[in-house]
Each structure stands twice: as structure tokens, then as C-alpha cells.
Chains A and B, each alone.
Chain A
Amino acid sequence: MAIPGTEHLHNPTTSSSWWQRLGWHANAKANNQARHSTPASNAPKSLRVALQLQRGAFSLELNNCLPLQGITALFGRSGCGKTTLLRAIAGLDRHAGAQVQFIDTVWQQGNTFLPVHQRRIGMVFQESSLLPHLSVKQNLLYGFNRLAKHIDVHLKPEQVTQLLELAPLLQQAPEQLSGGQRQRVALGRALLSQPQLLLLDEPLASLDQQSRGEILPFLQRIANTTGIPMLLVSHQLDDVVKLADHLVLMQHGRIHSQGPLQQQLLQPELAAIGAMSLLHAQSHGSKHHLLKLSIGQQQLQLPAPLPANTTSYSPTSYRLRIQARDVALSLKPISDSSVSNQLQVSISGFSPAPHPAETLVELELEGQPLQALLTTQSVERLGLQIGQRVFAQIKAVALD
């Protein structure tokens, strides 16, 4: 499938697919496919970055392809080079010798350097970056009013206002807004510049817990409805697990590993922060405030999110975040326990946990990975072995 908006690089009049999903343009699909019959356009779209720099003790060296699909998280400790990488991709910093290639368009290579304002990116910075001399409405339209004539408008101001629930804020000045509202406006402003790539530099870092809660669902909503690929820089594993599809783990100025989030969560480096798993589940509606979910053949029930948290948007699939220490294992199903979510799993491996007395048990649940943190003593007592089928009792789940 074509990645949103990218075809404009070659043909400014072609359409892309994400806004068709929104139903804004019904007939364009055939058109779109006809124009993408070349073999190259079937290859997965990616962003290629090569960067090498040394600043005192800090060094950055990478040569990687990042996927341009869904939300890709650049995750790592502060100072590992995430923001430097993001700024190089945006073109905000020009490093000698760096290479940036967006699908098959060179943004930087040798003497070629496409200036920031000509790259079709939207960027949201860590702290509020609304232009203080403009109202919310003027901020939103700043990029929109500067669009080149040949660029098709897929996201109209009314649509973005609706998507991000900005209508009540339009006439206000940036300083009247809360932190969460400001980031929402910044997000809307970036979207209205019709970007082919959204770059989010720790957009939640300067917000308190409540404001984060006001932004997160919107980020998910943008990813789901617009299909614009996003690069999200974060040092909060929680946020990453809530949002990302693909995780790029950065360490000491290098890309340590990257891959689908579920698999990446098995990396020992992430387990050291707090082993957790991500499960994708289908929703089957809720009854008596209990949400019924299925993972393959298996069912589970969880307290349904209260309406206030979800606004009018009710997803058909959920992400379940499960801490490894909230998973217990038993050889037989347990009936006399308060834990109601019990799933049949098979053991796929063992790995050492950060604490010497504990072991991480890697499990497989309907093809999805799940981790349980047990004491090594328990593992031995139960005689757990690879390939064995056991029952996982899940004590706590966070729902996104």
C-alpha cells in the first residue's frame, strides 16, 4: 500500500490512501493504483539515515532504514542521540556527511540539502512551541496558508479541528491554554501543513500525567485515521508501548536494535527497565462495564474504560500492556482464585532477569509473545520447560 502523501514527490496530483479511509475522496483509488504499478512502489517505504558525528564525549553513528508505516518510536535514555537524529531528519541541523533519503527522494547527501521548509514534514517539539504573537487559529493556519499550490489538501482545517477537538480554543491566545491543549494545537498545526511524515520530539515530556492523558488518545487517533507515518522520540517506555508499532532502541549514539514493538519488548535492555508485554486484542463490546476481549481463541474480560476517558471514539481493537511481574503461571487452571483472566500459553524460553533471584519466562499466546517474571525457585519447583503448556493468570492489565 502506498504510504500517505509520498507520491506527491513525483506526481503532485496523485492521491493517497489514508484520506480515502476517511471517506473524503471516493474515486481516487483506481487512479492511485494505476500510478503505482512500478515495482519500486511495492517495496516497503522507508526513511534511510546515515549520520556520523562526534561532539566531545558524545558520538552518534548510524546507517539505518526506518519504516514509514504507523508509529515508529525512537526509544532510549536521555542523551543517546534520539533528538539529534530527529533534527537531522527534519533538516534543522545540517551535519557534514549525513545522508537522509525519504523513500526515493534525497533530502540530504553530499552537497544536496533540501531546506527544512521544503521537506514535507510536520514537527511537534517537546515544549510548547506555539507562536506567541498569533492566536490558536492563526497558529493552526500558519503552515496551511503556506502550502504550495500543487499540494493537495487532504486535511482541511475543519477536519483537523474536529479530529483534535480544537473548536473551543480557536479564538484564544496560546498563553491561555494548558500544556496539553498547546500540544494538541501544535499537533493540529503540523497536520494542517499536509505532512508526509510527522516528527514528534518527546511531545509528552513536559506534561503532567493528566495532560498526557489528554494527548495520547489523539496521537492514536491521528495514526489510525490519517495513516501519516510518525517518528516518535521518547524516553518513557510506557508511552512507547501505548503508541508505537515499531520500536527503535537507541543506545550511546547507536541504533541497538529495531523491530515490531511486540518482539522488541523481549530485548533484555528493555526488560531491565521493567519487563512488559504487549498483546493485541479484539473488542466484542462491553456489558455491565466489563469489556469483552479476545486474543485468537481465548477470551478475557476487563473493566471497560469509562466514557470520559475515551470521548466519542470507541476502538474495535485494544492494546493490552501487561507487566511481566503481573503474570503468574500454574500447571493447571485455577478455579479458586480472584484472578479471572486465565490464558493458556506455551513456554518458549527463559532468560535471566535483572534481579539474580528471578527469571523471565517467555511465553507464547496465540502467536503473540508474553513475558512472566517469576522467582527462579518457582521455575524449578514447577519444573517448567520449553514447549510446555501452562496457564497464565494475569493480575493487571493496562488498556490502550
Chain B
Amino acid sequence: MPELFLALSPQDWQAIQLTLKLCLYTTLILLLLGTPLAWWLSLSQSKLRTAIQAIVALPLVLPPTVLGFYLLLLLGPHGAVGSTLEQLGFTHLAFSFSGILIGSVIYSLPFTVQPLLESFRRMGPRPLEVAATLGASKLDQLFSVVLPLCRGGFIVAATLTFAHTLGEFGVILMLGGSIPGETQVLSVLIYDHTEAMNYAQAHQLSLGLLIAAFVVLFIVYGLNRRFERGTV
């Protein structure tokens, strides 16, 4: 088996690099977007909340192809977003890294929001009320109370988002195709190797992903256990 990994081609390395970049960017963007969204969901009494919650959870149940298809329509040269960008002198987003990054962000959204929402709910409103009566503004509360008290939730959210983006396939294939260095991530490359009957190459990448995914999930559940025991 070890000699298999030595046989990684430059194309394989490029895909690994691209995948890690996509995962990292997606995780960072989602933490920035998901935190206020989850906070709003945990506090809001608004009727809109149910709708937003359903939309956030959509990627869990929709086939990735459906999501990818609509994103392709939207971001492509004839889509609302794509054509606007073209008019402004940019290029449309189909078959580009930016395009699959947007796809990943939407696709992994529930994996960021759910753990955060859960940890915000576990914390409850009281620590925030206490902080407010002691003169802490909303932003201050976020940094001095929410982040430290919900650290576990943030770690789980970040890890799950990263891992879920690692395993993304359908959306990327629909929206990005398989352009080396641009949209050809590991999962897509494995598909390409298999299509081309390069089973050995497909195998070593698959095994690598399998182990990586296991390690990540192992860490997540380990952390979850620790946080459930109350050592947050």
C-alpha cells in the first residue's frame, strides 16, 4: 500500500491542494456567515424563522445535482448573476473556483448552522442578559460570552463543515465540471480516474479520503463527548 501513495501524480497533488483550499475557504466563509445566522435563529421569534430554518436545511435533503443545476443556471453566462457579472466586465462563475466555492458554501451551510444553533440554545439567553445588564454591547457579548461559552459548538461546526466540503461531489460536478487546478477536486478526480479505468489511482485517493474523513469525524465525536460532559 505505501508505494501506492508514492505514485501520486502531479495532477493528484494539484487536486489535493485545490480540495484543501476549497475546504478552508468554505469553512472560513461559513463561520462568518453562519454565526450571525445561527444566532438570529436561536433568538428570533419571527415567523420568518421557520422558513429560514427550512432553507438552511434544504441541502440536507436535496440531491446535490438539483442544487448544482440551479446554481449553474444562476451563475452561468445566461443566469441572473452570471450575466450581470459579464455586463460589469467580469466573467460568469460557472466552471470556476469562485463558482464551486459559492456552491460549497450553500451546500455545507446546515453543517455550520446546526451545531452552532445547538450550542447557542444550550447556552440559553441568560448569560447574554447578564452581560447586557453589565454594560456589554451585542458585539462585546459575542466575543466575551458567546465565543468562549460555545467554543465546542464552533469547533464542531468548523470540523463538520470542512469534512462535508471534502466529500462534496455532485454540486461541483454540475457547476464546475472537472478543470484541473480550477474545479477538479479530489472527489471529481476519483470519478475521472474510475471512468478512465485507472483503478489503482482512484483507489489510493479514495483510501486517503476515507481515512481523512474517519479521523475528522473521530475528532468531532470526541470533542462532542467532552463538551457534553460540561467541560465547555
Q: Which residues of A contact B (CB under 8 A)?
A: 90, 92, 115-118, 121-123, 125, 129, 131-133, 142-143, 146-148, 189-190, 193, 199
Contacts and interface: CB of A to CB of B under 8 A. Distances in A.
Contacts of B126: 125, 129
Given A129-B126, A131-B127, A143 B132 contact: no
Contact of B132 (A117, A132, A199): A117
Nearest to B148: A133
20 contacts: A92-B129, A117-B132, A117-B133, A117-B135, A117-B137, A117-B140, A122-B133, A122-B134, A123-B129, A125-B129, A125-B130, A129-B129, A131-B127, A131-B145, A142-B134, A142-B136, A142-B144, A146-B134, A146-B136, A193-B135
A199 B140 CA distance: 22
B135 A129 contact: no
Nearest to B125: A92
B136 A117 contact: yes
Given A117-B133, A129-B129, A133-B148, 13 more contacts: A117-B131, A117-B136, A117-B137, A118-B135, A123-B133, A129-B130, A132-B127, A142-B136, A143-B133, A146-B134, A189-B134, A193-B133, A193-B135
B129 A116 contact: yes
A143 B135 contact: yes
B37 interface: no
B131 A142 contact: yes
Nearest to B123: A132
Contacts of A148: 135
B61 to A, nearest CB: 35
B81 interface: no
Nearest to A90: B133
A117 B130 CA distance: 10
B46 to A, nearest CB: 14
B149 interface: yes
A85 B98 CA distance: 52
Interface string B124-162: 001101111111110010001100110000000000000
Contacts of A123: 129-130, 133
Contacts of B149: 131-133
Contact of B134 (A92, A133, A193): A193
Task: With a 10 A CB-CB cut-off, give which of B127, B135, B149 has the most chain A CB atoms.
Answer: B135
Contacts of A190: 133-134
A90 B137 CA distance: 15
A351 B195 CA distance: 97
B15 to A, nearest CB: 41
Interface in B99-143: 126-127, 129-137, 140
Nearest to B144: A142
Contacts of B129: 92, 116, 123, 125, 129
Interface in B186-201: none
Nearest to A189: B134
Contacts of A142: 131, 134, 136, 144
A271 B29 CA distance: 64
B137 A131 contact: no
Task: With a 10 A CB-CB cut-off, give which of A115, A117, A121, A199 has the most chain B CB atoms.
Answer: A117
Contacts of B148: 133
A125 B133 CA distance: 11
For the complex of A and B, the 7 pairs showing the least CB-CB separation, nearest first, are: A143-B134, A116-B132, A146-B135, A123-B133, A133-B148, A129-B130, A117-B132
Contacts of A193: 133-135
A392 B3 CA distance: 103
Contacts of A129: 126-127, 129-130
B133 A121 contact: yes
Contacts of B131: 117, 131, 142
A232 to B, nearest CB: 16
B13 to A, nearest CB: 42
A127 B130 CA distance: 12
